[in-house]
A and B are shown apart, each in its own frame.
Chain A
Amino acid sequence: MSYAGWILLTASLVGLSCGIIGVLLILRRMAMMADAISHTVLLGIVVAYLVTRELSGVHMLIGAIAAGLLTSVLVQWFHARGVQQEASIGVVFTTLFAIGVVLIATKVGNAHLDVKHTLMGEITFIPWERIELPFIGSIPEAVFILSIVLIVVLVAVLAFYKEWKITSFDPALAASLGLPVVLMHYVFMSLVSVTTVAAFDAVGAIMVVAMLITPAAAAYLWTDRLLAMFALSGGFGVLSAVSGYYVAAWLDTSISGSMAFATGIVFMVSFIASPRHGLASRWFRHRAAGGAAPG
């Protein structure tokens, strides 16, 4: 495949998995947790590197899950002891992220990790870092990891579709029906963590938040059905990723930045034009209602 082809495939995989996970983030009102985890996985990656002394995908994924779980456990722990939810998120993630930054700057900064790379990502290098797979041949490692993560996310979401739905909509009922609400919360946090770290290399810690939240927030405006929201959000993610790449190529600018910007455009269009909740339809409805009234 061509260089541009690999980048587009990588970006689309990021858009798809982030778009799907994002739906649950929005519906569970946990958008801020995505922001937190996207930063604290850095600590997980650094610690995984310090322990194993190599930057392989599997170690990074395990480190990311551990960091994501630590983040959500700590946030919950402080919140249960009277700290506001947002304040708790803010304190925990900045502290863990700071530890990651300090460790990078002192111990491993000369290796393959640096702060700028993890914050901004560097999708342009991805086609060069390849691994050899049986039957498939040589493909970029990021594409391999992102494909695995996408499969895990898809299987987890579809297999437990009704369980995700009920624990998101009404956790109290779910608990009273005997569903393991707390366990599912932490499984979900793990899914957010692996998705984040897989998308990390491509778009970085800050842009991954845009890929997680914005397509799902846009999809929410278009549909009243959950399955359709998943499909639309994944679609918006891919659309943003692909169009972002071409905008970046056209303007000769940052690819991850353009992709995140494209999600913003998709959201703005949705916000104005969506039939149910959009500004335009609201304005028309308002005018129709006003016109019908006498005087």
Chain B
Amino acid sequence: MMPVLSVSGLTASYRKNKVLNDVRFDVQPGTLTSIVGPNGAGKSTLLKVMLDLHPRLSGSVRFFGKDYSKAKSRIGYVPQRGSVDWDFPTNALDVVMMGLYGKIGWLKRPKRMHRDLAMGALEEMGMAAFADRQISQLSGGQQQRVFLARALVQDADLYFLDEPLAGVDAATERAIMDTLKVLKNKGRTVMVVHHDLQTVEDYFDQVLMLSRSVVAHGATAETFTRENIFRTYGGTLRWMGEKLG
């Protein structure tokens, strides 16, 4: 099967430090992959570089066999919650509708249909009651669900999520993971930057272990081994040992 995402020789730097070095991997359709690695391993940068939000020094990234610019409409991106200003004067429904701005087109106002789509996505995330709520009045978990709802209305084939489970409550974590599994079962492909190693095996069928370059990549059951964790996290393993028991 043709991979939905094919990365090869990807190299990028951040403030003169090389954060990604010769990253290469392929992602098959209908998979749910977690991207794990220590702080500074380049997880977020990898997403940004693939999506042309951060410059790359070399390498190639192909989506559905095409360049990013030609595949944009099939790709959904959920940035870290902290990357936006939640005091912005707008409400939850409006934020979700932003996911449709690409489809609505220039100079046009959102129509009833778009409103209904956004409402439906909020409902799916259990947030319909908060549609009119100003976004600063939402809890962290609710804000993350709004972001997820926004990704849902984009109706993409390939999703990238940057730490969607960071700092959210248990109910939100369940709601998000259920949603991602539904997407996967519909044949969509999902890649998630993830920090909680304890849940990798429960939540994801694939794992990409990153430490500036790809340490290991494959089915979680075979890939997420003590040895690979050690190779990925290196010196920070003492802390890891406590975590994994």
Contact = CB atoms under 8 A, between A and B. Distances in A.
B236 to A, nearest CB: 28
A179 interface: yes
Contacts of B51: 172, 175-176
A274 interface: no
A159 interface: yes
B72 A165 contact: no
A178 B85 CA distance: 21
Contacts of B75: 176
Interface in A142-161: 159-160
B134 to A, nearest CB: 4
B79 A173 contact: yes
Nearest to B80: A172
B102 A178 contact: yes
A175 B52 contact: yes
B80 to A, nearest CB: 9
Contact of B89 (A29, A177, A220): A220
A162 B109 contact: yes
Contacts of B204: none
Contacts of A177: 72, 99, 101-102, 154
Given A172-B83, A176-B77, A224 B104 contact: no
Interface string A223-267: 111101100000000000000000000000000000000000000
B244 interface: no
Nearest to B160: A176
Contacts of B83: 170, 172
A166 B91 CA distance: 13
A159 B104 CA distance: 13
B88 interface: yes
A74 B26 CA distance: 39
Given A159-B107, A162-B110, A178-B72, A169 B85 contact: yes
A174 B52 CA distance: 12
Interface of A: 27, 29, 82, 159-160, 162-163, 165-166, 168-170, 172-179, 220, 223-226, 228-229
9 contacts: A27-B88, A165-B94, A165-B98, A172-B53, A172-B77, A176-B51, A176-B76, A176-B77, A177-B102
Given A82-B16, A176-B75, A176-B77, 10 more contacts: A27-B85, A160-B106, A162-B110, A166-B98, A166-B101, A169-B95, A179-B101, A224-B136, A228-B89, A229-B89
